[in-house]
Amino acid sequence: MHISNGIIGGPVSLAYGVVAVGLLALCLGRARQDLNDRLAPMAGLVAAFIFAVQMLNFPVLPGVSGHLLGGALAAALVGPWVGALCVSVVLIVQALVFADGGISALGLNISNMALLGTAVGYLVLVALMKLLPRTAAGVGLAVFLASIVSVVLASQGFVLQFVLGGEVPLTIGYGQISATMAGVHALIGVGEGLIAAAAVTTVAKVRPDLVYALRGSRLEQPVTGGVPTRVFVIGGLAVAAALAGGVSYLASGSPDGLDATTLTGCTVDADGAITGGSCIAQQAADHELGGSFLADYGIKGLDNATGLAGLIGVALTFAIGLAIFWAVRRRRHASAEQAPTAVAAEK
């Protein structure tokens, strides 16, 4: 659901960019309270895993595909503040390295997928966990349902953005766009929910202490044993690498839910190029880094290199995410150490 350059006007894109920067600063401040020796590497893993799974478009309708957004998954595993940062890291890497999602539209995409998607996913999770048993199955069902709601409402974030700053005169009404986006993304949400539920349930069975949604209470079904955090993170990275480096070759090549909606009213050829009609997608501009080394999840000069590009993306996303989260964690420790010193100095 990555918005391209030109779909939303410059002033609205800029305004969303400013809002996104402000809210991400708030997330950084609040994340400092959550990050510890276990959560920091887990957050890096979550970012890398979301990057990998976002490469796996799956069909939802004839000629339409979808992919995981990751807000509810991130919220369930690392909480809303760190989760929003995880998804943001993914979106920034995708825009700046892989030319996926316009740079001028980065604030729009972060607002929809990282901020709105994670916030909604977390709120639904909190509500459901008051009703469901605190078991691996219970948290899995909660994240499944939260994913559906999160994806649908994130899609409506785009509709609002287009109402405020759409650059194309519509041949269909805003209500039809909203209904189309909601319907398609409800199906995408089911797919995302299955992926997120499988991931969170697995973590809850192996290391329930790493599931933020279960923080503050123990699972009703006891879990024996325990995989060391370092081993768990390495294993998770291996799974992400396998998905990005291998399974990505099986991903659907059909346009995703947003792209399919923006093409409504136009005719396209076998390669997806617009041949006639009038639609939102006609306003899309080329990406600023469209000719870069890893643009479109390939490698310049190499054929059929999606898997290698995916491996680079997983490693890069994990490294950047881990560096950010360790830096935030160190600031937390530094602040905690300075507090007693300041009190002693006053005495």
> How far apart (Å, rounded) are the C-alpha atoms in residues 83 and 65?
25
Residues 6+ apart with CB under 8 A from 242: none
> Any alpha helices (H) in the chain, and if so which ranges?
10-34, 39-54, 71-78, 80-97, 106-109, 117-129, 136-165, 174-206, 229-245, 257-262, 306-346
Looking at residue 222, what is its pLDDT?
47
> Over 80: is that where the pLDDT of 55 sits?
yes
Integer angstrom CA distances of residue 312 from 55, 252, 287, 305, 320: 13, 21, 20, 11, 12
Q: Rounded to the nearest 5°, which phi and psi values hold at 275?
A: -110, -10
Token pair of 9 as six digits:
């006007």
DSSP at 135: S
Q: Which two tokens stand for residue 56?
A: 């796996």
Q: What is the pLDDT of residues 210-269, one digit of tens each?
A: 999 998 655 544 445 578 989 999 999 999 999 999 999 999 999 999 999 888 888 888
Average pLDDT over residues 66-87: 97
Question: What distance in Å separates the CA atoms of residue 144 and residue 200, rounded to the nearest whole number?
Answer: 10
Mean pLDDT (whole number) for 169-194 = 88
Give the pLDDT confidence score for residue 215 in this predicted structure. Answer: 83
Contact 87, 114 (CB under 8 A): yes
The pLDDT-based confidence of 343 (bands split at 50, 70, 90) is very low
Check whether 333 has a pLDDT greater than 60.
no
Least confident stretch, 203-207, 219-223, 256-260, 322-326: 219-223
CB neighbour list of residue 282: distance below 8 Å, 6 or more residues apart:
168, 266, 274
Whether the per-residue pLDDT at 304 is higher than 60: the answer is yes
Residue 63 and residue 47: Cα distance in Å, rounded? 29
When pLDDT is averaged across residues 34-62 and rounded to a whole number, the result is 94
Per mean pLDDT, which range of 91-105, 164-178, 318-332 is the poorest? 164-178
SS3 300: coil
pLDDT of residue 171: 63
Tokens of 289: 């880094």
* pLDDT score, position 176: 84
CA dihedral 205, 150, 20, 55 (to 10 degrees): 70
CA distance 71 to 75: 6
Considering the chain, what is the average pLDDT of its residues? 90
96: its two tokens: 């700046």
